[in-house]
Structure 1
Amino acid sequence: MPHFTPSRIAVVVLTFSLLTFLWTFGLPNPGISPALPKDQHDTSSQNPAKGKDGHKDNLKVPTSPPTPTPTPASTPSSTPSPSAKPDEMEKVKDVGELKNGQTTAPGESLKEQKETASGTAAKVQPTSIPASSAASVVESSLEPTPSPSATGGPEFCKHVHRAPDVMIVIKTSKAEIKEKIPSHLKTLLSCVPNFAIFSDHAGEIDGIPIYDVLESVSESAKQQHGEFKDYERIKTEDNVKAGSVNKDLDKWKILPMVYTAYQMRPEARFYMFIEADTSLSWANLLQWIDRLDYRIAYYSGAPNTLGKIRFAQRGSGILLSQGALRLYAKGYDELYKSKWEGRVGNECCGDAILATAMQDSRVEFYSSFPLIQGESPWTLDWTNRHWCAPMLTWHHVNKQDLETIWEQHHSWTAKNGWDKPYLFRDAFTELIEPHLTDLKHDWDNISADSKIEKNINAEKDPNSEWSKHSEELKKSIESPENCKKICEISEDCVQWKHSTNGNGECYVGKVIRYGRKAESKEGDAKWTSGWMIERIKAQKTKWECKEPKWKFGQ
């Protein structure tokens, strides 16, 4: 019998046709989804995060005005185009950078881009939170530009790679706005194309609108909580003294502020929320977000804990991605009036309240310590843990601090360009080390590892701690010179301080801190501090920085 009969040939043809049909129309299409990132953020590459979902990013951004201009409102229907699908956003739960070798992430081309400077943002009058009918922003397509390191000039800082992708949001109050916000306008905000200032009142400062973020709080909540009496009072006062407003009023700002910032500029990729006493490195922030995928739900900052809630400290700065705010905005629309607003009145702190709202929105918190910092340069413990990390923020800084730190950043970018990170090591070298001396009067350098003091009844009790001290330790409380000697004979001591409080006190420290001036009136205790300069220099040589440590989420 022949191998190929007409019937066998017909069966083969039909089978092949059926398989072809099923292959073309019948098999399920898994769809497009972004590549999962690494669960760590530590890579030597300075390249932006890369995805393999094949999306082309046609986002448009407002052109930079010649002067710093706040971000006006967009209509609520103004959404980024294209955007990651909701099901894609839920697939991406881990945090980190995408693997090397993948295709370019949405919005990334192999050439660097920047916004054109031909347009001007629409004029926004001082007002309360913008409504959907507010003026929209003039937009322009992105165009190729030279490398961001080509210049460090002050005008160029508004056009640096990734600058249009970020919205900076400052939370303030009527009691502090005149004192603290002008310094931000002269420094950070002079470089930021898109920003907004939210407060407990509507107004204007130096031509910049201030948005009343408490206006959206329900009338029932305002009637139930006594702090809103101050909210109504300050509307009629031109000069509000610091400390005269109920502190509980501040916690009501954060939830509507975050929501409104997203509504004002939904096409932004990242949102950085800071306060009036926060210092932010613009160059380091842009380099940081260039390593991240904006579609991933990032809620990150300096960690703090309240009960079982782990949250980002508001004053240190809070980074939120577009991916996180899409989820948050959905949760806000569904839960703010029914659940979240009632919770605010019962909680202590706005940043902890935001964390619970993020949990309800299925957005996890990731620590960005030490990049985002809860200390100031003067109170930080300068250790190897910080040394090679890029410095993004400082907290608890005053007007003079803001301007001093900004000048250092400006000098850094002018010399090194915008693609070399400014490390904690560099901040120490420029801000701290030049001021360390063997002896500094009227100064508290926060030495606190060991304290030597003599209690009133110490000599009467033969079993007291004082009686066990050597003669050198006992003499250390008598003078700054004697206190310094204790530090000298302790191999791991790098600084000391002496106080005339009581019978005298001597403190020694194993960690480098700078501290602040300790002015005293007549009759008050006097403070004297000093550092072991050679030991500090030797310690620095051990903290070699082979590459910047961008890793976070620890």
Structure 2
Amino acid sequence: MVLRRSRRIALVSSLLGLFLLYHFVSLRPELYTRTYDATAAAAGHHRTGSASETAECPVLPGMEDVLVVMKTGVTESLDKVPVHFQTTLRCVPNYIIFSDFEEEIQGVKIHDALRTMDTVVKETVADFDLYNRLREQGRAGLDNSDFADEANSNIGKPNNPGWKLDKWKFLPMVQQALLHKDNAKWYVFMEADTYFSWPTLLEWLAHFDPREPHYIGTETQIADVIFAHGGSGFIVSNPAMQLATNEYATRTIELNEYTDWHWAGDCVLGKVLADAGVSLHYSWPILQNSNVGELDEFAKGFYRNPWCFPAVAFHHLSKREIQDLYAFEKRRRQETDNPILLHRDVFKELIYPELSNVRDSWDNLSDQENPAITTFHECQTLCAATRHCAQFVIRDGVCFTGETPRLGTSNPAARSGWVLSTIENMIDHAPRCSKPDFGLR
């Protein structure tokens, strides 16, 4: 549906957008929001600013110039957000969390990303039905259908109320994040099922000039728009944030109409930045739209081999997986002086130790179908006899094989195995990674 408004409403809304931009820039952020210091809260006192490393938090020079922006929604926030207070956000000095419902979770304010949006849009566009119920009734306004976790189609989850509302958050979220900390050099956007390795991120960002407009993320395309995939995490420099905010303030009506027509808010933001002259810096495989079980560290079919690239972010993670990654990085800090996490390290230290000849109730995501083979033993024999076969699985009675090893995921209807000698040979012949590949060539 394309928004239909009279010229009078359009003029008023456009002027309102300009007023809000001026109003936001002139406001002091502390009057309406705050930066929550999770480390100080956990310790029960204010941080002293000491450079010495605590038991939990590494020294992160440059992190004070970063604002971490987490996006979530009311239907997932109580379940997915709290784990971050003791993991990804524990040692972050500046962060803000946006949702479609303002509340507090464990003492941390969750901000309404949509509060500054055009009232006409919120009152007339069907996508805001959930939002308006929440405004009137709070969480009591939720019903079971709001929590429907339908599978993603090629246009997301078109019948899920929270998913339809989510696309509207991106542009006002950028506007409010810039207001919250207008002197940050970098704005790092993540979702509630995303994990970031902060030391690795900072080493990567050191190769970019924050005084220039940068938009960095995992390249995705819808029609003619190339944009950063939101769930993988993306990074925007201060100058680029200002350009996006100015575009939104001066083209409010047009961009609201575009968002209403579209189905992906991260694509809308990508278009706005492109229109402002900021093209996307491609980040794959540094920022991943995969969890650890889905990673293919020996991937052959893409323009980069992940092995020597930094592993900065992962997506589609459970609470347990976020905790495991946090604990893994903590162990690494005790064992090595190198802060950079490479995909090589992820494979050797997290994936390879979990591989075995046989794993029941497990699917390692092999994708080459062999329909004539229906037993585990035959599938295993086929893979062992095939030169480049690294793994196999019987899934629903059919044999699948794969040339690159992946960990996979639990599946009661599957039984997996890996050819360890093949995988060991792949590791032996992998690049030495004398230095990280930041993909800057």
Q: TM-score, normalised by structure 1?
A: 0.66
**Cα offset for 1:264?**
0.9
Kept in 2: contact 1:254–1:351 (CA 8 A): yes
**What are the ranges of 5 or more consecutive residues in structure 1 without an aligned counterpart?**
1-73, 79-129, 454-473, 520-525
2:85 to 162, 173, 185: 185
1:484 lines up with 2:402 in the alignment: no
2:433 to 528, 531, 546: 546
**Cα offset for 1:505?**
1.2
Aligned residue in 2 for 1:153: 55
Aligned residue in 2 for 1:217: 117
1:112-511 aligned at under 5 Å gives the runs: 133-134=31-32, 151=53, 153-155=55-57, 157=58, 159-235=59-135, 236-238=137-139, 240=142, 242-243=147-148, 245-335=161-251, 337-383=252-298, 385-417=305-337, 420-448=339-367, 450-453=368-371, 474=372, 476-477=373-374, 479-499=375-395, 501=396, 504-511=397-404
- Inter-CA distance 137–429: structure 2 relative to 1 (3 Å threshold): closer
Letter in 2 for 1:201: F
* Percent of aligned positions that are identical: 28
SS class of match (1:229)? helix
SS class of match (1:238)? helix
SS class of match (1:319)? strand
Aligned residue in 2 for 1:457: none
Letter in 2 for 1:452: N
The range that moved more, 240-249 or 529-538, is: 240-249
Kept in 2: contact 1:300–1:318 (CA 8 A): yes
1:35-184 aligned at under 5 Å gives the runs: 76-77=25-26, 133-134=31-32, 151=53, 153-155=55-57, 157=58, 159-184=59-84
**Cα offset for 1:153?**
3.2
Whole-Å Cα distance in 1 between the matches of residues 216 and 437 of structure 2? 14
Show CA shifts across 1:226-264 (max 9, x none): 121111113324364523634210000011101110111
- Inter-CA distance 529–144: structure 2 relative to 1 (3 Å threshold): closer
Show CA shifts across 1:442-501 (max 9, x none): 1111111x2121xxxxxxxxxxxxxxxxxxxx4x32x101110000110000000113x3
The range that moved more, 398-407 or 242-251, is: 242-251
**Cα offset for 1:414?**
2.9
Whole-Å Cα distance in 1 between the matches of residues 33 and 363 of structure 2? 52
1:516 lines up with 2:414 in the alignment: no
Show CA shifts across 1:104-156 (max 9, x none): xxxxxxxxxxxxxxxxxxxxxxxxxx968447889xxxx9986xxx757314x
SS class of match (2:407)? coil
**Cα offset for 1:546?**
3.3
**Cα offset for 1:408?**
0.6
**Cα offset for 1:415?**
2.7
- Inter-CA distance 426–440: structure 2 relative to 1 (3 Å threshold): same
Kept in 2: contact 1:152–1:415 (CA 8 A): no
Aligned residue in 2 for 1:48: none
- Inter-CA distance 433–338: structure 2 relative to 1 (3 Å threshold): same
Whole-Å Cα distance in 2 between the matches of residues 137 and 386 of structure 1? 35
Letter in 2 for 1:346: W
Show CA shifts across 1:343-399 (max 9, x none): 110111001100111112211111111111111110111216111111000011111
**Cα offset for 1:550?**
3.4
SS class of match (1:259)? helix
User: How many aligned positions are there?
Assistant: 387
Kept in 2: contact 1:451–1:508 (CA 8 A): yes
Kept in 2: contact 1:443–1:517 (CA 8 A): yes
Whole-Å Cα distance in 2 between the matches of residues 144 and 402 of structure 1? 27
RMSD: 2.4
